[in-house]
Structure formats: structure tokens, C-alpha cells
Amino acid sequence: MMDTHTETKKPTSVSRWSIFDRTVNGVMINLMETLDGMGYIATGFSFLVIGMVVFVHSWYAFALVVGTNAVSAVLALVHDLLLVIILLELFRTIINFLKTKVITLEPFLYICVIASTRRILTIGAEIAYMEDVSEVVFNRYLLDLGANVLVIVALVIAVYLARRISPPISISERGETSATEPIAIKN
């Protein structure tokens, strides 16, 4: 008589993972998720502090230069304030991620639009204050300007399309569980 006994593996819990043939339990996963969250918080505060420093410095530099060269000072101030807006958008994106655990595309599209606008203003300011503009330099300026305008148009279309799509589904709405969420077992 042959032994027909076969080994059956026990189903593993959602909170246990096997890495390099070692089991990682829920405590380790919780620790990693906590460290991940702390990393996002530290990065968010860094964006906020850097934004505040740039804001104060840009107004200080503006106050020093505005009397001698107002147009250049205003352009530099707008350039720096757009950088502050980019940093604040990144900060806001991190806050939204920490609240929802979902990364959305739209804030990054806005940041890219602002960055392209910054580039257009910077190029415009550079070319406006050049003494002798050769045809080659002017053509490069127009090419760079055109590329940034096309990028902005493409990003605006992407924002429009992103808004038409339904909002992203969070992890808990998909039915998946994290290591910190209790698993509901139906009988």
C-alpha cells in the first residue's frame, strides 16, 4: 500500500511575508511603514522650511535691488515665488498622501506647468537684458520657448484628462489589507 499522504501548506497570513526564505512578521512590516511615514513627514517639513527660506530670501533680495533695477528685481522675485509655489505643492502632495495613502497625478502636473512657466519667464528675462543678441541665440531662445509652450499645452491636456478619469481608489477600497488593518474573516 502506497502512502498517499501529501503535505499541505498552511495558508499564510496577509501580514506575513517570506523574504530570502525568512518570514517577516507584522511587527517588522509595521516598523517599516512607520519609518516610511516618518520619511514622508521629514521630507514634507523640509519642503516647507526650504520654501519659507526661499520666500524670505527672495523678498530680501528684491528689497536690495528694486531701487537700482526694478524690472530685473521683479522678474527675479516672480521666479523665486514660483519656486516657493512648487515647494508648497510638493508639501501639499505629501500631506495628501499621508492622509489618503494614495499618490495622485494632478499635483505633479501642476508642478510641471509652474516649472515650465518659470523657465519661460527666465528665458524671457535673459534675452531681454542681453546687449547683442545674435540670430543663433535668438533662434535657440525661440526653440526653447516653443518647447516649453508645447510642454505646458501637453500638461494642460493631461490635467484635463486626469480630471475626467474617476478619482483613484484607496488601498482599503480595493479590498486589500495592510499589516496594520485587521483582517475580516467571513464565515
Q: Which helix (H) or strand (E) holds 77?
A: helix 70-100
Residue 171 lies in a domain: no
Q: What is the pLDDT of residue 105?
A: 84
Residue 78 lies in a domain: yes
Number of domains in the chain: 2
Residue 50 lies in a domain: yes
Same domain, 78 and 34: yes
Distance from chain centroid for Cα 154: 18
Q: What is the pLDDT of residue 186?
A: 40
Residue 117 lies in a domain: yes
From the list 96, 76, 102, the residue with the least C-alpha distance to 170 is 102
Q: Residues near 13 by Cβ (< 8 Å), separated by ≥ 6? A: 26, 183
Same domain, 24 and 55: yes
Same domain, 49 and 73: yes
- Mean pLDDT, 10 residues at a time, over the chain (187 residues)? 54 52 74 91 95 97 92 88 94 92 86 91 80 85 92 92 70 45 39
Residue 154 lies in a domain: yes
Range of the domain at 85: 17-101
Same domain, 23 and 53: yes
User: 50-85 burial string, b = 16+ CB within 10 Å, else e?
Assistant: ebeebbeebeeebeeeeeeeeeebebbbbbbbbbbb
Residue 152 lies in a domain: yes
DSSP state of 150: H
Same domain, 36 and 92: yes
Same domain, 119 and 151: yes
Same domain, 126 and 160: yes
Using CA atoms, how far apart are residues 185 and 177, in angstroms rounded to an integer? 12
Q: What is the pLDDT of residue 176?
A: 44
- In the structure grid, which three cell numbers stand for residue 181, read together? 488593518
